[in-house]
Structure 1
Amino acid sequence: MVLGPAGAGKTRLVAEAVRDGRNVAWVRATTAAAELPLGAFAHLLPASPPSANLLRWASESITADVLVVDDAHALDPASAALVHFLAAQRAVRLFVTVRTGEQPPDAVVALWKDDLLPRLPLEALTREETAEVLAAALDGRVESGSLTRLWGLTRGNPLYLRELVLSGVLRDVGGLWLWHGPLLMSTTMRETIAARIGDLDPQERSALEHLAFGEPLGADLLASLTSPAAVQGLEERQLVTVQADERRLAVRLAHPLYGEVIRASCGTLRTRTILHTLADTVSSAGLRRRDDMLRVAVWRLDAGDSADPSLLLRACGHARAVRDLPLAERLARAAGDSGEAWLALASILYLLDRYTEAAEYYARAWSAPLSPTHRMECAAMSTLNLVWGLGRHDTSLLGEAMARTSDPGERQILRCFTASIGIYTGDLRTALDEVDSARRSPEPLGNAARGSVLITEASLRTATGETARALECVAELMTLLEEEPQAKPSLTGLIIDNGAMAAAMSGDLDRADGLAAMLASGEESVGLWNRVSLQAGVRGAQLLRLRGRLSDALGTGAEALVRLPGVPTIYAGPCLGEIACAHALRGDADAAESVLARATDLALSLGPLTDLPLESARIWTLAARGDVQGAIERALAVAESPYLMFTLFALHDVVRLGRPGLVADRLAALPVDGALAPLFARHAAARRAGELLAVSESFARLGFLLYAAESAAQAAARFAESGEPRRATGAETRAWTLTQRCQGARTPALVGLSLPGLTPRQRQIATLAAQGLTNREIASRLVLSVRTVANTLYAVYEKTGTPDRKALAEVLEHL
């Protein structure tokens, strides 16, 4: 018996199970057939039934070896009794499907209660399973945001998923499938969902309509609009869910797609009536909940009402806080022509990467009457739009705003904006002076000023290698954000991103991964804005590359790439740089150069933070072309940057490329906090093979597997030079084993590594030894002498350079 909701794939699964079977009969239960006794079996039974013992006559009339009873919950009592009789008599092999949420006849329930048939419940697909299904069906990966949207809409229902994909909501962009256009529902899907909803009385229909336009709604409010019996009946039929939400019960539709079907069935006038009712009812209750203001504003707009501009602006701010920028733009435009409305609209356009439009509205707002706080915000955000959005280094408005205000908090915020621009454009001295000035303020700072100082300082300390202080700033700001539920996601994303970079620089990849995952998942007030998701993708690709997971880095980088806006942006350089670097580390110089060529059109060049990621990628692109000397020269040039986040890795690149003597002293003196910089210095200073092997082990413990593989390969070369072939083989085997975990890595240090070759007999004995069997046990199992086993294992240890069974097991795992 296969049980599951409509669309779970019950029928398809059974069809696949019996596809190659002989003498298979199908019975499909329907509501119409249930009107007649044995109606579902009519096609399998003789025309004239006997006057007695109907069940035995019917069972003996079925000659199939396999019987499939589909939708058994809809069987009439006589048909259900026949199925139970057949199961009890073992007269035929039975496959029965039952839709959950229905009330099947007692005889069908007894099939599993009496242990006549085993139950196979079909659960909804998880997000990961949905990704696997889509990848197999589309022959390509679905972008993570699109996957989240698909899974959220379908809740893992295979039929709904299939119909959505077939409707064309996904498009292939360079091998990555993205959500494209509005949600489209096929006729099959609408009919399936309508059938699941079933017949409704007027009150139930009204309750579902109000939920479709206004969920979640309080149970009491919904009952007052319809009736308590209607709400209770919908819950019993599992069409709605009721959950505790603080001090009230919140009612939602049981599936997101129910709302799509219900809304589509409402005409224009009915829709307006519902929206009017919702807005009036919630407004009369006093807008007591945090999101009531936003919901009422949207309902009134959708209903065609004129709304108070102040309400629309407050709702606009709330929409921005809950990460819905398109809605925030709509509300700002509806708020009318005023300085505050233009400022709100400009800031939203900036966050949507529509920089030219944003500049127009910032100019309008600046020339209009504004409060001191709004004027400061206009100056700061307009400057960011000019510099970060349009590449015009014009900070005149910051100076003018500073001259106009005497408020200590506002002055600190303006200083921090000046510092942030300095960090991007390469003026670290100015940035440091501004941050120090802000921190030394004699006036107590409010949360907004404190947050600005912390986020700016975190960026600055990361750039200068003071990663411990940078991570302290991140922790302080995250605590501060807990007190600010309306925190801006772009700023939150930036602070978490800086924390991930600082953690990676300090050698703590686990902490960096945790912060990057927080950024990608939308936790901690980050949200799912495109810009924040783009940051998350770039940082995630970098961390995967540092771990040596180059294929995974390319996949994550590709997701970030498709999020780039259609105009030059400061995010393109880091994004393209990561992708190009991963290609180059895999030895694919052509692919790396192709990616770097796109920077001409996509990347906005402002300074080190936008340009150096591309320069770092060019180091390894040259190396992939075989120009190791050119790569070293490029690395030394990047290492001249005062931005130690780039200097640290560029100096180590020289070591990886085989010229440690050029940079050993500089690495030893580099003032970067954490365990990674000293380990880089150890790598540069290592002269003996044993020291390099110890460095390799340290890199592996920190999770930098590609660095571990390269230093082990360098150790192998040193052992060979010093006439120690056995130890050279061991180091080379270690390097080869680590390289297998680096997803196609092919750097100069790894070129020429040879696979440890074993004969079939050697591999057989080695496998048993690695499993922990003694030589005597192996001999007994393979009918060999103990001496033969011992001699074979000695040869295996020689070929692989491993000292014992434990090390041998690691090698065999990759062989």
Structure 2
Amino acid sequence: MTQPDDRPETLVGRLREIDFLQRFLRQTGVNGGTLLLSGEAGVGKTALLEATADAARASGRTILRVTGAEFEAEASFAGLNQTLFPLVDDFSALGDEHARALRVALGFETGSAPDWLLLSNAVTLLLRRVAARAPLLLVIDDLPWLDRASAVVLSFAARRLVGSRAGLLAAYRTGSAGYFDTGGLPELPLRALDDEAAAQLLAERFPDLGPQVRARVLSTAQGNPLALLELPHAVRETRRGPAEPVPRILPLNQRLQGLFAARVAALPAATRTLLLAAALESTGDLAVLQAAAGAGYRLDDLAPAEQDQLVRVTTASHTVTFRHPLIRSAVVTESTSAERRRVHRALAEVHRDDLERRAWHLGEATVEPDEEVAALLQEAARLVRRRGDYQAVIALLCRAADLSPTPQARSRRLAEAAYIGAEGLAETRSAMELLQGVRQAGEQAPASLNYASATAFQLLDADGHVDTAHRLLVGAIEAWPNRTDPQDEELVTGLWTLALVCIVGGRAELWEAFHAATARLVPGPPEIMTLGIGLFGADPVRTGVALLPALEARLATIQHETDPDMVQNVAAASIYPDRLTEVREPLWRSIRQGRAGGPGRRRIVALMDVCIDDFVRGEWAEAAELAAEGLAVCEEFGGRFFSFYFRYHQALLAAVQGRFETSRALTDQMIGWAGPRGVGMAQTYARHAQVLAHLGEGDYESAYQRATEISPAGTLASHVPHSLWVALELVEAAVRTDRRAEAERHVRVLRESGTAALSPRLAMREMAAAALVADDEAAPELFERALRTPRTVEWPFDTARVRLLYGERLRRSRAMSEAKAQLKEASHAFEKLGATPWAARAERELRAAGQTARTPSNTQGAAALTPQEREIARLAASGMTNKEIGERLFISPRTVSSHLYQIFPKLGITTRAALRDAIGSDDA
């Protein structure tokens, strides 16, 4: 038998089952026995039988193999012939009566049919006798196809192997063991692979599979190994290229058809038609099927499919569902195109008041070009886009293009599909192929703003120069015939794309064309564009405060917002006002949808935003996880252009944690990549991380140089919002390097800008900067006002840095007692965050203030926990798993584990079971 480290590598996700079968082999090699493997078709029963047989053969066992076959199911004793043929020479050792019964049953002699009990005993004796020489394993696959006579005899023998060294291992489809009596025999139910194992198997066998196809295959296969291995081939065979949308119902190849389609083909014609309607009508609503009954069926026709366990009908909800998505695919595969069109037409009529469903059904029912249907499909696509299902949008637009009667209409719709694919980070090849289709469809294609927007995204994702994408978009917008209408969706799309290019360009001059274009709009640009650009993209230093009431109104309803574009834009507008926490739940929805196969770019943007919120709130463990996830998603979806954003977060974390070499390597990489491409945003972000690293190292000259490269002293650079995030650092570095005049000028411009109104965090930082340049009499009051700013607990790193600066100033003023109080608070906060260089700096200041040894905290029990730790402890004590706690609090299971690791010593416990008592007593 194979040892644990010799298990078959191909059987992904089957470690538990292989261990179980190893134990079975060891047992039967000593005392015999029988085991049945059961499970759905394609779940991997045969693979496990093969692996077990190979292991048994390698250990010196005698192996007998039987595979039931449909064509032999009516041939009496055909299965027994397969089983015992290798043992013919051993028949004579049984005695004449038993030997003759075997020879007659297997067709080696003629004579009257042997007595059933005599034959069964002969088979049992033969197996036991052969096993006496060496352990024996009889392996039976496809048990239901054994002929009746063989099944009866072998099920008799299966119960009489205990006490020998013979084992019987048989596999059958759940609920269909044929004539073999399974009653009372040990059984190992084989279930579908879990999500992780299914994803691993697909990744190992099809590493180049596109993310959208991978998600659909995983969803359809539902852990069925055979489906996971065969569906990708079927999809490739039916798609004309990567631009071809993934079919709503995945096709079956010949091997899968052999498993599932035969059962469908055996049903009455009316039942097959009803199942086809259920397959094409994804809700399974019986009322809808009843309304479409003109297609040639009655609801009573469901009965044969129910009896064969192909579908289940839920009375309470009045729905019919397929037992497995592959059965649904088999139903569609077994139908003709004419049958499908007829059912689609009937369903389109039923859904005449549902734009999306009516459009899709009409699109599938229509063969010839039809502008009315094409326009309906395009309208439905724009409706679907609001909920972020990019693949459905692309599929609808591609079908609309196919049905467009003119080249111009076809190219216009393909251009829109290309933009959706590029903006949503569909497969890179898919977007490129769609763009090529646009060029081939009509000469007017390049004038399309959607074409220009899609091309701009392709340029960025292909590491093109920002200025090239900018010129392309500006030219297309200036040439657009309807430049003043904010209701023109294509124009607004072009403006949003131009805004993105300006943002990543990070230079004020790029924005001139954008501002000129939006100034032409009558009566003005869309409100959400004004909000998003004004508070994040362009120049929130000068335009942000006036937009805060509009942001407040959006945040009041954001929890119920279903439009992912709106969530993304409100989140962006919330960054510099430090309101991202209020958008976390909608952002996490985008992340979870992305993880489940949703749009790549939506997931990337949501990860960016949550990383920002995690950093300022001190959730650095989760920030590190999400930054790593973001890099992986960028690589997976071909959106490597935005990788710099996640390297920025990694560089920030490395800087504040004292991993200076790592931070330096990351920022050097960002700057080296961004320079030739004109990505000023990446350079600014890299310098922000460099400023923090230099401050952590105590290199104030370098910190000043990097900060002033972002925004010179005495100015808040136009269209560089990050100038707000390095203002305190610039003032501190200026003071430390004897540039007092520059520091004072910078504080003055901060106050004049009014940006303290944007966020309490910015107000706290501005007040601390003012304290740094104030005289000894005024400084303490300014620091105290900074620390009295509302919500300081939400920004532990910034607050601790203000306390550190305050403590340093107090120590230099010889106010030692007050200095120690501030420095101890700062030291504790830095230690908890893992901000090693800052904690060391606070400790040095404490020693200089006369603190000879660190005073241990007197806080014990639940009182020592932070609010988040307390909530995690409470949920864990209630019995929730780390995954469930993470979903409740919108953090990862690993972050939950990290918190629990810190919680246990605070509570003086070592096990999760002790949590209830530990926090319960404190709560009381």
Question: Which residue type is aligned with residue 181 of structure 2?
Answer: V
2:397 counterpart (321, 329, 344): 329
Q: Distance in 1 between matches of 2:341 and 2:478?
A: 34
Q: Please name the residue that 2:172 is paired with.
A: 98
2:609 counterpart (535, 539, 551): 539
Report the CA distance between 1:66 and its aligned residue: 2.8
2:635 counterpart (562, 568, 576): 562
Are 1:225 and 2:281 counterparts? no
- Cα 1:179–1:315 change in 2 (3 A) is closer
Q: Distance in 1 between matches of 2:661 and 2:622?
A: 14
Are 1:491 and 2:566 counterparts? yes
Q: Distance in 2 between matches of 1:338 and 1:369?
A: 24
- Cα 1:684–1:12 change in 2 (3 A) is farther
1:41 counterpart (80, 95, 98): 80
1:6 counterpart (14, 32, 41): 41
Are 1:427 and 2:502 counterparts? no
Q: Please name the residue that 2:497 is paired with.
A: 385
Q: Distance in 2 between matches of 1:360 and 1:660?
A: 52
Q: Please name the residue that 1:128 is paired with.
A: 196
Are 1:616 and 2:688 counterparts? yes
CA deviation digits over 1:718-749, x for unaligned, max 9? Answer: 6888999985999xxxxxxxxxxxxxxxxxxx
Instruction: Give structure 2 stretches of 5+ with no counterpart.
Output: 1-35, 85-101, 106-112, 424-434, 436-445, 453-475, 503-509, 744-764, 772-782, 809-818, 858-903, 913-924
Q: Distance in 2 between matches of 1:637 and 1:381?
A: 33
Q: Distance in 1 between matches of 2:231 and 2:700?
A: 50
- 8 Å contact 2:264–2:272 — kept in the other structure? no
SS at match of 2:38: strand
- 8 Å contact 2:830–2:839 — kept in the other structure? no
Q: Distance in 2 between matches of 1:636 and 1:314?
A: 50
Question: Which residue type is aligned with residue 449 of structure 2?
Answer: A
CA deviation digits over 1:498-545, x for unaligned, max 9? Answer: 66x589x5796xx7764442221239xx99334312212333555677
Q: Distance in 2 between matches of 1:637 and 1:299?
A: 58
2:768 counterpart (661, 665, 669): 665
- Cα 1:621–1:674 change in 2 (3 A) is closer
- Cα 1:12–1:719 change in 2 (3 A) is farther
- Cα 1:143–1:580 change in 2 (3 A) is farther
- 8 Å contact 2:63–2:139 — kept in the other structure? yes
**1:478-627 residue pairs with structure 2 within 5 A?**
478-479=559-560, 481=561, 488-496=563-571, 514-522=585-593, 528-540=598-610, 546-548=619-621, 552-562=625-635, 574-575=645-646, 577-578=648-649, 581=652, 585=659, 587-588=661-662, 589-590=664-665, 592-600=667-675, 605=680, 612-619=684-691
1:29 counterpart (68, 75, 90): 68
Report the CA distance between 1:680 and its aligned residue: 3.9
Moved more, 532-541 or 346-355: 346-355
Instruction: Give structure 1 stretches of 5+ with no counterpart.
Output: 171-177, 406-410, 440-452, 458-468, 482-486, 731-801, 811-815
- 8 Å contact 2:39–2:191 — kept in the other structure? yes
- 8 Å contact 1:8–1:124 — kept in the other structure? yes
- Cα 1:332–1:726 change in 2 (3 A) is same
Q: Please name the residue that 1:395 is paired with.
A: 515
Q: Please name the residue that 2:487 is paired with.
A: 374
Report the CA distance between 1:109 and its aligned residue: 3.5
Determine which structure has more spread, i.e. the larger CA radius of gyration: 2
**1:714-725 residue pairs with structure 2 within 5 A?**
714=841
Report the CA distance between 1:345 and its aligned residue: 7.9
What percent identity do the matched residue pairs reach? Answer: 17
CA deviation digits over 1:253-307, x for unaligned, max 9? Answer: 54444555565666xxx42x33542343234436144633332342245565553
CA deviation digits over 1:147-190, x for unaligned, max 9? Answer: 533321211112222335678979xxxxxxx9999689665445
- Cα 1:44–1:574 change in 2 (3 A) is closer
Q: Please name the residue that 1:463 is paired with.
A: none
Moved more, 15-24 or 647-656: 647-656
Question: Which residue type is aligned with residue 83 of structure 2?
Answer: L
Q: Distance in 2 between matches of 1:321 and 1:634?
A: 41
Question: Which residue type is aligned with residue 497 of structure 2?
Answer: N
- 8 Å contact 2:540–2:721 — kept in the other structure? no
**1:77-156 residue pairs with structure 2 within 5 A?**
77-91=148-162, 92-100=166-174, 102-105=175-178, 107-110=180-183, 114=184, 116-117=185-186, 119-133=187-201, 148-156=215-223
Report the CA distance between 1:634 and its aligned residue: 2.3
- 8 Å contact 2:39–2:173 — kept in the other structure? yes
Q: Distance in 1 between matches of 2:244 and 2:667?
A: 28
SS at match of 2:372: coil
- 8 Å contact 1:235–1:242 — kept in the other structure? yes
What root-mean-square deviation, in Å, do the aligned CA atoms of Structure 1 and Structure 2 show?
Answer: 5.4
Q: Distance in 2 between matches of 1:310 and 1:515?
A: 32
- 8 Å contact 2:306–2:313 — kept in the other structure? yes
**1:759-774 residue pairs with structure 2 within 5 A?**
none
- 8 Å contact 1:398–1:414 — kept in the other structure? no
**1:623-634 residue pairs with structure 2 within 5 A?**
630-631=702-703, 633-634=705-706
- Cα 1:7–1:809 change in 2 (3 A) is closer
- 8 Å contact 1:204–1:234 — kept in the other structure? yes
- 8 Å contact 2:348–2:359 — kept in the other structure? no
SS at match of 2:520: helix
Q: Please name the residue that 1:158 is paired with.
A: 225
- Cα 1:332–1:805 change in 2 (3 A) is closer
- 8 Å contact 1:25–1:66 — kept in the other structure? yes
Report the CA distance between 1:313 and its aligned residue: 4.4
Report the CA distance between 1:34 and its aligned residue: 2.6
Moved more, 25-34 or 345-354: 345-354
CA deviation digits over 1:482-505, x for unaligned, max 9? Answer: xxxxx5432223335666x589x5
Q: Which has the higher contact order (CA 8 A, sep 6+)?
A: 2
SS at match of 1:394: helix
1:681 counterpart (793, 799, 802): 802
- Cα 1:301–1:6 change in 2 (3 A) is same
Report the CA distance between 1:556 and its aligned residue: 0.9
Q: Distance in 2 between matches of 1:683 and 1:425?
A: 32
SS at match of 1:16: helix
Given the two structures, how large is their TM-score scaled by the length of structure 2? 0.58
**1:61-80 residue pairs with structure 2 within 5 A?**
61-62=126-127, 63-64=130-131, 65-80=136-151
Question: Which residue type is aligned with residue 202 of structure 1?
Answer: A
CA deviation digits over 1:99-148, x for unaligned, max 9? Answer: 12x432465331xxx3x31x32222223233335456778x899976653
- 8 Å contact 1:7–1:160 — kept in the other structure? yes
1:51 counterpart (114, 118, 125): 114
- 8 Å contact 1:243–1:250 — kept in the other structure? yes
Q: Distance in 2 between matches of 1:292 and 1:188?
A: 32
Q: Distance in 1 between matches of 2:906 and 2:311?
A: 62
- Tell me the matched-pair count: 657
SS at match of 2:230: helix
Q: Distance in 2 between matches of 1:281 and 1:637?
A: 66
- Cα 1:809–1:300 change in 2 (3 A) is closer
Q: Distance in 2 between matches of 1:180 and 1:347?
A: 14
